[in-house]
Every structure is written in structure tokens, then in C-alpha cells.
Amino acid sequence: MKFNIISRKTLQDSTLELVLFTPKEEVITLGYILESFEGWFNYSTIDSKKQLFRIRVMQDFTSQAEELMTFLKSWSPPAKNFY
């Protein structure tokens, strides 16, 4: 997937916060994947024109989320076929 992590910080409650730039064509796929890991993430749009998104990772899932983001960065979704 195409995305870049712009910033990474740990909040006072030990939640990991990531700010990502995500191209428009990846937004729906990334959101769908994050939604499927219910309880791991809270994500929202910071600026839709600049395509910036905030992802907060719950403290109990930080290492698993890091692994998932590493995998997603190297993964290429199948091409979309329109008939």
C-alpha cells in the first residue's frame, strides 16, 4: 500500500499516535483494513485535501499494529478490474 508515516508519538496514556499521508486511491482500503481490527485502532481524517489521517493505536496492541503497518507498507492490493 502507498502511505507515508509523517509523525509518530506516544501520548500520555501510552497510546501510539501516527499521522499518515495516504493517497486518495488507498483511503478506502486502509480504512476497511483498520476497521476490521476492532479495538486496535481509532482513526480520523485530519485534512482531507492534504490526505492526512490520524491513527491512534491502543496501548495493548502497539507491537501487533507495528507489524501490521509494516506488512501493509509492503503489500500491493490486487488491481481493480472494472467491466
* DSSP string over 14-83: S-EEEEEE--HHHHHHHHHHHHHSTTTEEEEEEETTTTEEEEEE-GGGHHHHHHHHHHHHH--PPPP---
So what's the pLDDT on residue 66?
Answer: 92
Q: How confident is the model at residue 19 (pLDDT cuts 50, 70, 90)?
A: very high
Residue 83 pLDDT greater than 60, yes or no: no
pTM over 0.85: no
8-28: average pLDDT: 92
Residue 10 pLDDT greater than 70, yes or no: yes
Segment 30-67, tens digit of pLDDT? 989 999 998 999 999 999 889 999 999 999 999 999 99
What residue type is 13 in one-letter code? Answer: D
Mean pLDDT across the chain, nearest whole number? Answer: 90
So what's the pLDDT on residue 80?
Answer: 65
Taking the C-alpha atoms of residue 83 and residue 69, their distance in angstroms, rounded to an integer, is 31
